[in-house]
Structure 1
Amino acid sequence: MARGRRSTNPEGRMSLGEHFRELRNRLLISTLAVVALSVVGWYWYQDIIDVVAAPVQRVAEERGDELVTLRFQNITEPFATQLKVAIFSGILLGSPVWLWQAWAFLLPGLTRPEKRIALVYFFVSIPLFLAGAGLAAFTFPRLVAILLSFTPEGVANIQGMSEFLSLVLYFMLAFGLAFLLPVVLVALNQMRILSARAMLRSWRVTLFAILVFSAFMTPDPSAWTMLAMAAPVFFLFWCAVAVAFLLERRRRRRGDDPADRYARLSPGEATPLS
């Protein structure tokens, strides 16, 4: 169907109605993928809860005589929690599908070189997002142990299951989004919007912005969660700076540096548009 339409419409032009139908189809595929993969989270709900609650149970076993546990607050909360776990699992597992659908909706409007670059960014973004979520899942048990260690002796620490689970899920989502920072920076550099030297000069501002972003994205008010996110993201920022310098060096070797082109212009000559 798409091949026949391409042969009769070589430029790939679409009407407004066709754009909306294309968007509807992309959204439908993404929704079906999330719903189908939510079954995985629903089926493995008990195993997921065992992993999530393991840090709290470990602290409770170490303290022995103290009351450190998770609880449900009402009769409907267990069902709502299982539904939340299922939907989040579907979104996480289906991220390659719905991210690809978003890219595929934008790709027809790009040129051939832009399509190659967009695909590279797409295939880099997914591992970075999953790496951020995986790092959050790896560090969260240690973070829970540190935070619960501040509970004084003789004082109970009873966490609501829904709030605790939301903390875990938002923590993973925030880490995944934060790990996409180098992709955004390298993309801005490749579009000639942000130079590598400008990134290097603004590292203090970037560090402050990362700390503020981490403080807002992590729902827990303690500084440990903020620092746990900010440290790897700041490291990725330096990786993006290094990649930007390499890309600029490559462009200079090919003679594709705008600064070199503008330097050859006379004072009264207009700058080129491209």
Structure 2
Amino acid sequence: MSLVGHLRELRNHLVKALLAVAAGTIVGFLWYDHGLLTFFTEPYCALPGELRLQGDGECRLVVLDVFGGVLLRLKIGLLAGVVLSSPFWLYQLWAFITPGLKRNEKRYGIGFVAASTTLFALGAVMAYITLTKGLELLLSLAGDEVAFQLTAPDYLGFVISLLVAFGLSFELPLIAVGLNLVGILSHEALSGARRWIYFLTIVFAAFITPTQDPFTMLAMAVPMCVLFELAIQVARVVDKRRAKREAAEGLAGLDDDEASPSIEAASPLDTTPSSIDEPAHLQR
């Protein structure tokens, strides 16, 4: 296919993906009043009443401008649309890439797409679970005489950034596995740097979490350390299989009258005169 053909194919897949996102956005826009907004505000409403200005009776976010409500609804609808339509636009991306891949590359690609989606969802769920405790810890630092009335854009921006930060952070161990599969990063290197990996993971979690409180930091760092350990063990299995395959390919490439390198190295022929039995009439 020519360059123009590739660009035309890319355009077609992008149009289909954008149409899917638009349809999902419409669904999210209609879903806004039927539980979607409640899903996002539930961690804030679960805070103790003394931290919120309304107390226990009401739980509402504040909008300070006329168009703030419309923009808020569109933002949440777009986010929901991207999530709801993700199977379709991921398929469009895969359909554009897969013609240029080999059979084993297709197999790895499907595995990586499934693993990355699962890890991102796991990170987002972990962030949502820890959101209430993180908010409570942060807001309580202001003292007992301070109550908060959060604006909707600031709060929802904070929630979305936390979900995305957790989701992307859980992808890092998968990157280590990918580098090992292509032969860039070995199990020996990963295993030798295990302590540094754990230390840098904790430092990374301390900087990347929007709340930057110890509870949320540990909620990100501990699962990431577990995932990195799984990545190290996967690298160990991959390196063992690679070594066996290379050894088998090395032996299979030898000629019938050619000795294997291991035999030549282990049993060299000693041809020194002292080791050769001479005839009796020449030993005098």
Q: TM-score, normalised by structure 2?
A: 0.77
CA drift of 1:209 comes to: 4.2
Q: Percent identity?
A: 36
CA drift of 1:223 comes to: 4.6
Aligned residues of 2:202 and 2:221 also touching (Cα < 8 A): yes
Residue of structure 2 equivalent to 1:3: none
Aligned pairs for 1:34-113 within 5 A: 34-46=21-33, 47-61=35-49, 63=50, 70-113=61-104
Aligned residues of 2:53 and 2:149 also touching (Cα < 8 A): no
Residue of structure 2 equivalent to 1:162: 153
Q: TM-score, normalised by structure 1?
A: 0.80
Measured in 2, the distance between the counterparts of 1:191 and 1:258 equals 18
Measured in 2, the distance between the counterparts of 1:29 and 1:198 equals 43
Measured in 1, the distance between the counterparts of 2:248 and 2:94 equals 28
* AA aligned opposite 1:248: D
Measured in 1, the distance between the counterparts of 2:172 and 2:234 equals 13
* AA aligned opposite 1:32: L
CA drift of 1:245 comes to: 0.8
In the alignment, is residue 254 of structure 1 matched against residue 254 of structure 2?
no
Measured in 2, the distance between the counterparts of 1:258 and 1:71 equals 68
Gaps of 5+ in 1: 1-13, 267-274
CA drift of 1:67 comes to: 5.3
CA-to-partner distance for each residue in 1:133-152, whole Å, 9 max, x for gaps? Answer: 22222221232223223231
Q: Tell me whether 225-234 or 175-184 shows the greater mean CA deviation.
A: 225-234
Measured in 2, the distance between the counterparts of 1:169 and 1:187 equals 27
* AA aligned opposite 1:226: M
* AA aligned opposite 2:68: E
> Of the candidates 15, 19, 32, which is equivalent to residue 2 of structure 2?
15
* AA aligned opposite 1:31: L
Q: Tell me whether 230-239 or 78-87 shows the greater mean CA deviation.
A: 230-239
Aligned residues of 1:251 and 1:257 also touching (Cα < 8 A): no
Q: Tell me whether 16-25 or 212-221 shows the greater mean CA deviation.
A: 212-221
Aligned residues of 1:41 and 1:89 also touching (Cα < 8 A): yes
Residue of structure 2 equivalent to 1:143: 134
Measured in 1, the distance between the counterparts of 2:21 and 2:247 equals 43
CA drift of 1:82 comes to: 0.8
Gaps of 5+ in 2: 254-260, 265-284
CA drift of 1:248 comes to: 1.7
In the alignment, is residue 31 of structure 1 matched against residue 18 of structure 2?
yes
3-state secondary structure, aligned to 1:59:
coil
CA drift of 1:51 comes to: 2.5
3-state secondary structure, aligned to 2:117:
helix
Measured in 2, the distance between the counterparts of 1:165 and 1:257 equals 57
Q: In 2 relative to 1, CA 216–16 (structure 1 residues): closer, same or farther, beyond 3 Å?
A: farther
CA-to-partner distance for each residue in 1:211-249, whole Å, 9 max, x for gaps? Answer: 454455433354544333222122111111111111222
CA drift of 1:184 comes to: 1.5
Measured in 2, the distance between the counterparts of 1:36 and 1:134 equals 25
Larger Rg: 2
Q: In 2 relative to 1, CA 250–91 (structure 1 residues): closer, same or farther, beyond 3 Å?
A: same
3-state secondary structure, aligned to 1:30:
helix
